[in-house]
Amino acid sequence: MRRKIIAGNWKMYKSPAETREFGEELKQLYKTPPKDYEICIFPTYLCIDSLVESWKGLEGFHVGAQNCHWANMGAYTGEISAAMLVDVQADHVLIGHSERRQYQKETHQELQAKVMAALGFDLQVVYCCGEMLDDRQADKHFDVVTRQLDEVLGKLHPRALPNLIVAYEPVWAIGTGVTATPAQAQEMHAFIRRHLKKILGSKAERTPILYGGSVKQNNALSLFSMGDIDGALIGGASLQAGDFWAIAQAMSQALS
Ligand code: 13P
């Protein structure tokens, strides 16, 4: 069976104090750590340490960063390297989120270099892809996602696969309250899985593919019940421990 992952991308929300509060609340909600899926929260760089501290020693609870630089160190004002993330005990990193592609104009060359840097430090890379509304309306969504996979993951060595997670996040579903239907998400996840196997070999069958875009408590179970959806990357609904936990419970239910 593939790994299942419930992840939260906090974007530019929460202070260190609020992060600690969330960390403690989530611990309270879990009497024992989940056995059949992993949890990962991606807070701002400033809050990684607070969450790592709060969850120290808890199996299955991970902390990640929302970005990293492609260089290990250097004269790059305002940047953070993969090496530094490892130093503060983050073990995951998001690469290629659509908000960074849009606002920071990240190019596929940069994304490719970031993926390589993160893998070089043995981080788990959550590579984000997904089409814009116009692409879907023009029936180009498969082409767009194919290009995003080829340009950034096309040259990866298959031995990197155990460190790779893909998140499919259709841009039209992010923060809009409009979720992809389970059938739409399943169709794209199955497509991504076939394509990953084409470019990275048969072991890509085991690569977790998460869905992101307005995942909430009321739609999580129907998404997680689909065969190729291995979890979620949750934005808004990951900010409250209770909401996040409720979505994670839907994963337990889907697996039972
Ligand atoms: P929402 O869950 O708020 O739509 O955000 C999704 C997202 O961008 C996660 O990376």
Q: What is the CATH number of the domain that holds 225?
A: 3.20.20.70
Residue 140 pLDDT: 98
Please indicate whether residue 8, judged by its CB atom, sits closer than 6 Å to ligand 1.
Answer: no
Q: Closest by alpha carbon to 173, among 95, 104, 235, 249?
A: 235
Copy the structure tokens of residue 157. Answer: 């060595």
Please indicate whether residue 7, judged by its CB atom, sits closer than 6 Å to ligand 1.
Answer: no
Q: Please state, in angstroms and as integers, the Cα–Cα distance from residue 164 to each residue in 47, 122, 182, 235, following that order.
A: 24, 10, 23, 20
Q: Which of 215, 219, 244 is the best mutation target for the ligand 1 pocket, counting ligand atoms within 8 Å of the beta carbon and taking the most?
A: 215
Residue 173 CA, closest ligand 1 atom number: 4
Please indicate whether residue 247, judged by its CB atom, sits closer than 6 Å to ligand 1.
Answer: no
Catalogue the active-site residues: 97, 169
- The tens-digit pLDDT sequence of the chain (256 residues) is 899 999 999 999 999 999 999 999 999 999 888 999 999 999 999 999 999 999 999 999 999 999 999 999 999 999 999 999 999 999 999 999 999 999 999 999 999 999 999 999 999 999 999 999 999 999 999 999 999 999 999 999 999 999 999 999 999 999 999 999 999 999 999 999 999 999 999 999 999 999 999 999 999 999 999 999 999 999 999 999 999 999 999 999 999 9
Q: Closest by alpha carbon to 46, among 10, 94, 97?
A: 10
Please indicate whether residue 170, judged by its CB atom, sits closer than 6 Å to ligand 1.
Answer: no
Residue 1 pLDDT: 86
Q: Please state, in angstroms and as integers, the Cα–Cα distance from residue 2 to each residue in 37, 193, 203, following that order.
A: 10, 12, 11
Number of domains in the chain: 1
CA–centroid distance, 243 to ligand 1, in Å, is 14
Q: Please name the residue whose Cα sits nearest to atom 1 of ligand 1.
A: 235
pTM over 0.85: yes
Residue 249 pLDDT: 96
Q: Closest by alpha carbon to 249, among 34, 66, 63, 25?
A: 34
Residue 33 pLDDT: 85
Please indicate whether residue 9, judged by its CB atom, sits closer than 6 Å to ligand 1.
Answer: yes
Copy the structure tokens of residue 183. Answer: 């059938």
Please indicate whether residue 50, judged by its CB atom, sits closer than 6 Å to ligand 1.
Answer: no
Residue 203 pLDDT: 97
Residue 32 pLDDT: 85
Burial (CB count <10 Å: 0-12, 13-18, 19+), residue 227? exposed
- Please answer whether residues 96 and 129 qualify as being in contact, where contact means their C-beta atoms are separated by less than 8 angstroms: yes
Residue 216 pLDDT: 98
Residue 31 pLDDT: 83
Domain that holds residue 28: 5-255
- Please answer whether residues 208 and 215 qualify as being in contact, where contact means their C-beta atoms are separated by less than 8 angstroms: no
CA–centroid distance, 246 to ligand 1, in Å, is 16
For 156, the 3-state DSSP assignment is coil
- List residues bridging with 211 in a β-sheet: 168, 232
For 159, the 3-state DSSP assignment is helix
